[in-house]
A = this chain, B = another copy of it.
C-alpha cells in the first residue's frame, strides 16, 4: 500500500498514468506527503502502511473490499467542477412561487462572499471554547435577539434543524411539560403539510395523539374545548399555509383555552411577515418557531436552513437547542458563551426531551447578518413591497379575472380557485413560474423579495389575460389592524452597518476573533475536523443548486436527482448496505430516524412490543436521547477497563431483554477511539436475541475502505457527512446525517408528503424534516469529496487518519498517559484519549490544559468526552506533519509546565490563568504581572513558532461550571437517560 499511496502523489491516482490531469485531489486532501509517511512509519517502527493497518484493525474486521465508487481514480479538481456544472445544468431555474416555508431571497453579496464562501466562517467548530469563538457567538446572539424581537418572546435559541422538526420540538416540549400525561396535541389544519407529517412521525414514537382541526373556526375551536382535559397543547400557523391571516380573537381564544389547562400554545410563523404583523406573543403564544431561510439563505432544494424557536420566560430552561448567553471572563469583562446551565436543568429532567446536537449555526449567522445589513427599515422596505405586490395581484385577480382569491387577508400568499389547477400550472410554467397545486381546482403562490415589477405584471396578465397592466403609483399598504406598533430591532449593532464597507468590516472583525481550520488544527475527537476543500464548496453557491425550491416538480430537478441517487448509492457501497436516505439533517436526527425505521420494521412484523435498546455507557449522549425520542427504553451496557465492550454484560442484558429487545446502538470504532475487538461477537449476540444492530457512524472516518457497518453485520447506521464526508462544521452546523440500511429495512425509510423520496413505499415512516432530501444544497460537498478521492483512494483518508493519530500517540506517550493503548503494538484508531486525571492532585484539570492550548494557538481537543478529565484528539488525515508536530510540541511544553507544578517549582498560575488574551497582557498592571511568577512572554509565546503565527483568544477564561465541563454537546448521557426512565 505504501507504493500505491505514493502513486497518489506522483500521478494523482492509484493507477498512475502520465495522461491524467495534474490537478488530482487526494494528494491535496491528505496532509502528509509520501516522505512524511515514511518518516512517521519509521517512528512507529512499521515497514509499510499495509502491515501497520493490519495491526490496527482486527483481522476479522479488516476487509478492504474494494469500493465501487466511480471513477476509481477520482475526478481531478477541474473534471469535478465540469461534472458538477453538467449536473447543475440539468436543474431548471424556474421562478419559485411555491412558498410553503421556502421563499426566494437575495443573499447580500457581501455576506455571500465573506461569510458563506469564507473558510474563516464555515470551517469553525461549535463555539464550545468561547475564548476563541466570540465572533460567531456574537453573531448567534444577534440571531437570538432578532428572533426574540420579531416573535415578541424573551428567550430564543441559536437555531434548530428546520421548521418542521422545530414544530416537533414544540409539540414534545408541550407534551413533556405536562409530564407526558396529556396525550392530545391539537394542530390547526391550516399548517404546512410537511410540518404535519413530521409532527405525526415524532408523535407516533412518543405515543402523542395529534388531532388536526380547523382551530380558528368555531367548529374547530369547539373540538378543542371538548378535548381540553387531555390536551397538552395546540399549534397554529400564522400566517397560515394557505396564506390567510384570521381574526385576532381566533388566535387569542386558543391561547386562553390552552392556558386554562396549563398547556402550551405554539405558533408557526414567518419572520418576514413578522416585520409588519403583530408578534404572536400578543395573542398569547408560548412558543413561536419557523424558518429563517428567507432572511438571505438560498433555497438550495430544501436546506440547510436555520429554524428559529423562541419561548416565554417560564420555558427558558426547557427550550431545546443551543443558547448563547452573556457572561464574564476571568478579568471581569463581558464574554459570550453557550449557556449550558439551562441545558443542565434540562438534562436533569426525568427524560431527555430533545436530542438536538448539531444545529444550523452557519445559516443562522447568514440570517442574523441579513438583518444586521438591512435593519428594520430595510426589512420593512422588503416586506411592504412583498405585501404590496401580493395585494395588487390579489386585487387584479378578484377584479379582472374569472378566478377568485380564497383567502381574505394575506401577507405574501394567495390561494386561488383557478378551475383547473393543472392547466393553470402549465400556463404559469410557460412563463417560467412554479406555483403550488393545492387540489384539482386550487393553486397557491407566494411572492418574495426577488419578484420584479415585470414579473408582477406578467403574473397579473397570467391571471387576468390583460395584455396591458396598469400599476398604481404607490403600493397598497398593510392592514392597519394587523400592523405591529412596537419598536423592534433597535439594538446598536442592528442600526449601524448599512454600507457594504461597514458590513464587510463587521464580518471580518467577527471572523478574526475565532479559530477556524484556516488558522490551525482543530483536533476535536469524535468531530473529524478535516479539510473542507474549495472545489467541494464552490458549487453550493451556483444558482442552479442554490435557487431551486424543494417542491419543484421532479422533471425540473434532474440534476439534483442524479446527484442524490448517485450519492445514496456511493454511501451504501461505502457502508456495505443496501440503501440510503439523505433526509436527516444531523447525526442525532439520523439516529432518531434509524431507530424509528427499526421500530416500524418490528411493527410490520407484529413485534411492536420490542422497545429495549442496549447502549454502551461510553456512547455519545445523542444515542440515548434519540432512543428516548423514538420511544425506546435504554439499557446501558458496561465497558471493560481496556475500553472495550463488556460482552458478558451484553449477553446478560440481551438475553434478559430478549423478548422486548429492539436494538443495540454502538459506535465503531468506539467512542474511545478503539477498533472494538468484540464488535462482531456483539452483533451476533444481538441478532441471536432478535434485535437489530444500529451502528453510530460518527467514527466512520476510520472505516472507509477498510471495513464497513454492513460488512460487520449491522443493520443500519447513520453517517455524519459533516465529519467523514467533508461538509464543514459551519461553527455548529449545518450537518447531514443520512442513514444506510440493509435491504429488509429499506421499505421503511422516510417518505415525504409532497415530493416522493427515493425509497418511498406504503410502509415508509413519516418524514423527519420538511424537505424531502433534507439539506440538499450541501450534498454536492460530500459528492465531490467522494468522487474526487475515487473508489481506490478513499481508503487512504482512513489509513492516514489512523497513521496521524498513532504518530501523535507515539510522540506523546512518553509524556502523557494515553488511554487504552497500553503495550507496544497496541494502536489507537483515528483518535486517542489523553488522560489528565493524574494531574488533578496537583490542582491541574483538563480544562487548564485545554485553555492553555489556546495560548499555543490551538483549539482544544474534545474535553471530558467520553471520559471526564481527559482530552480526546482526532487529527484527521488532512493535517500535515508540520502541524502535528507543532501540536505535539505544544502538548509537551504544557507537560513541562505541569511538571513544574508537580515539582513544586510553581503553583501552576500560568495554566490556571490561561488563556491569556491581549487585554490581560497589555492592560493588566505591571504590579500584578510581577506577582504571577511568569512573564508575559512565557504566557504568550511559550514556543518560538508563536511569534510568527498565532490566533489570539479575545477574552480570558470564561467561568464555566464543572457541569458544563462534562458535556460534549447538549445531550444527556446514557446513564442519565437510563436512570430517569
Does A471 contact B19, Cβ atoms closer than 8 Å?
yes
Does B937 contact A106, Cβ atoms closer than 8 Å?
no
Query: A474 to chain B: which residues have CB within 8 Å?
Result: 18
Q: Mark interface residues in A442-453 (1 if CB within 8 Å of B CB, else 0).
A: 000000011011
Q: Is A822 interfacial (CB 8 A cutoff)?
A: no
Task: Using known A-B contacts A109-B533, A533-B500, determine if residue A922 contacts B921 with beta carbons closer than 8 Å.
Answer: yes
Q: Would you give the shortest CB distance from A537 to chain B, in whole angstroms?
A: 8
Does B922 contact A119, Cβ atoms closer than 8 Å?
no
The 5 closest A-B pairs by CB, nearest first: A109-B534, A19-B453, A508-B518, A28-B500, A18-B475
Cβ-neighbour of A109 out of B449, B502, B535, B883 (below 8 A): B535
Q: Would you give the shortest CB distance from A103 to chain B, in whole angstroms?
A: 14
Complex interface: stretch among A226-234, A377-385, A750-758:
A377-385
Does A22 contact B517, Cβ atoms closer than 8 Å?
no
Q: Is A504 interfacial (CB 8 A cutoff)?
A: yes
CB nearest neighbor in B for A878: B501
Q: Would you give the shortest CB distance from A182 to chain B, in whole angstroms?
A: 46
Q: Would you give the shortest CB distance from A516 to chain B, in whole angstroms?
A: 9
Interface positions, chain A 118-165, Cβ under 8 Å from B, are 118-120
Q: Is A509 interfacial (CB 8 A cutoff)?
A: yes
Task: Using known A-B contacts A28-B500, A501-B31, determine if residue A921 contacts B921 with beta carbons closer than 8 Å.
Answer: yes
Does A501 contact B22, Cβ atoms closer than 8 Å?
no
Q: Would you give the shortest CB distance from A37 to chain B, in whole angstroms?
A: 12
Q: Mark interface residues in A1-39 (1 if CB within 8 Å of B CB, else 0).
A: 000000000010000001111110001111101000000
Does A450 contact B883, Cβ atoms closer than 8 Å?
no
Task: Using known A-B contacts A109-B535, A500-B28, A504-B119, determine if residue A22 contacts B381 with beta carbons closer than 8 Å.
Answer: yes
Q: Is A940 interfacial (CB 8 A cutoff)?
A: yes
Q: Is A882 interfacial (CB 8 A cutoff)?
A: yes
Q: Is A422 interfacial (CB 8 A cutoff)?
A: no
A926 and B938 alpha carbons, distance in the complex (Å): 13
Q: Is A498 interfacial (CB 8 A cutoff)?
A: yes
Task: Using known A-B contacts A18-B388, A919-B947, determine if residue A519 contacts B505 with beta carbons closer than 8 Å.
Answer: yes
A-B residue pairs in contact (CB < 8 Å), sample of 24: A18-B385, A18-B474, A19-B385, A22-B382, A27-B499, A29-B500, A31-B501, A31-B502, A77-B108, A78-B450, A109-B533, A109-B534, A113-B538, A496-B882, A499-B880, A501-B517, A501-B880, A502-B880, A505-B520, A918-B940, A919-B947, A921-B922, A922-B937, A926-B930
Q: Would you give the shortest CB distance from A715 to chain B, in whole angstroms?
A: 36
Cβ-neighbour of A29 out of B113, B499, B923 (below 8 A): B499
Q: Is A176 interfacial (CB 8 A cutoff)?
A: no
Determine which residue in A450, A918, A922 has the highest number of CB atoms from chain B within 10 A of its CB, and name it.
A922
Cβ-neighbour of A508 out of B120, B385, B452, B502 (below 8 A): B120
Determine which residue in A508, A879, A935 has the highest number of CB atoms from chain B within 10 A of its CB, and name it.
A508
Task: Using known A-B contacts A120-B508, A923-B937, determine if residue A108 contacts B502 with beta carbons closer than 8 Å.
Answer: no
Q: Is A441 interfacial (CB 8 A cutoff)?
A: no
A501 and B537 alpha carbons, distance in the complex (Å): 14
CB nearest neighbor in B for A929: B926
Main SS of the interface on chain A?
helix
CB nearest neighbor in B for A930: B926
Does A23 contact B106, Cβ atoms closer than 8 Å?
yes
Q: Is A117 interfacial (CB 8 A cutoff)?
A: yes
CB nearest neighbor in B for A31: B499
Task: Using known A-B contacts A22-B378, A30-B499, A533-B500, determine if residue A922 contacts B936 with beta carbons closer than 8 Å.
Answer: yes
Task: Using known A-B contacts A500-B534, A926-B930, determine if residue A509 contacts B949 with beta carbons closer than 8 Å.
Answer: yes
CB nearest neighbor in B for A472: B18
Interface positions, chain A 452-507, Cβ under 8 Å from B, are 452-453, 456, 471, 474-475, 496, 498-502, 504-505
Does B517 contact A504, Cβ atoms closer than 8 Å?
yes
Interface positions, chain A 33-89, Cβ under 8 Å from B, are 33, 77-78
Does B922 contact A941, Cβ atoms closer than 8 Å?
yes
Cβ-neighbour of A113 out of B33, B106, B384, B534 (below 8 A): B534
Q: Is A110 interfacial (CB 8 A cutoff)?
A: yes
CB nearest neighbor in B for A510: B949
A930 and B927 alpha carbons, distance in the complex (Å): 12
Q: Mark interface residues in A369-412 (1 if CB within 8 Å of B CB, else 0).
A: 00000000010011011001000000000000000000000000
Interface positions, chain A 794-850, Cβ under 8 Å from B, are none
Query: A918 to chain B: which residues have CB within 8 Å?
Result: 918, 940
A452 and B79 alpha carbons, distance in the complex (Å): 10
Q: Is A271 interfacial (CB 8 A cutoff)?
A: no
Known: A30-B499, A109-B533. 17 other contacts (CB 8 A): A11-B381, A19-B385, A19-B471, A22-B378, A22-B385, A31-B501, A31-B502, A77-B109, A113-B537, A120-B508, A498-B880, A500-B531, A501-B531, A501-B878, A502-B882, A504-B518, A505-B518
Q: Would you give the shortest CB distance from A758 to chain B, in whole angstroms?
A: 30
Q: Would you give the shortest CB distance from A978 to chain B, in whole angstroms?
A: 40
Q: Would you give the shortest CB distance from A961 to chain B, in whole angstroms?
A: 27
Determine which residue in A23, A113, A501 has the highest number of CB atoms from chain B within 10 A of its CB, and name it.
A501
Q: Would you give the shortest CB distance from A776 to chain B, in whole angstroms?
A: 22
Q: Is A112 interfacial (CB 8 A cutoff)?
A: yes
Q: Is A684 interfacial (CB 8 A cutoff)?
A: no
Q: Is A966 interfacial (CB 8 A cutoff)?
A: no
A460 and B719 alpha carbons, distance in the complex (Å): 46
CB nearest neighbor in B for A876: B501
Query: A533 to chain B: which residues have CB within 8 Å?
Result: 109-110, 500
Interface positions, chain A 871-916, Cβ under 8 Å from B, are 878-880, 882-883
Cβ-neighbour of A33 out of B110, B114, B498 (below 8 A): B498
Query: A882 to chain B: which residues have CB within 8 Å?
Result: 496, 502
Does B452 contact A21, Cβ atoms closer than 8 Å?
yes
Query: A509 to chain B: which residues have CB within 8 Å?
Result: 948-949
Interface positions, chain A 507-544, Cβ under 8 Å from B, are 508-509, 512, 517-520, 531, 533-535, 537-538
Query: A947 to chain B: which residues have CB within 8 Å?
Result: 919, 923
Interface positions, chain A 947-962, Cβ under 8 Å from B, are 947-949
CB nearest neighbor in B for A506: B949
A450 and B382 alpha carbons, distance in the complex (Å): 45
Query: A517 to chain B: which residues have CB within 8 Å?
Result: 501, 504
Query: A505 to chain B: which residues have CB within 8 Å?
Result: 518-520, 883
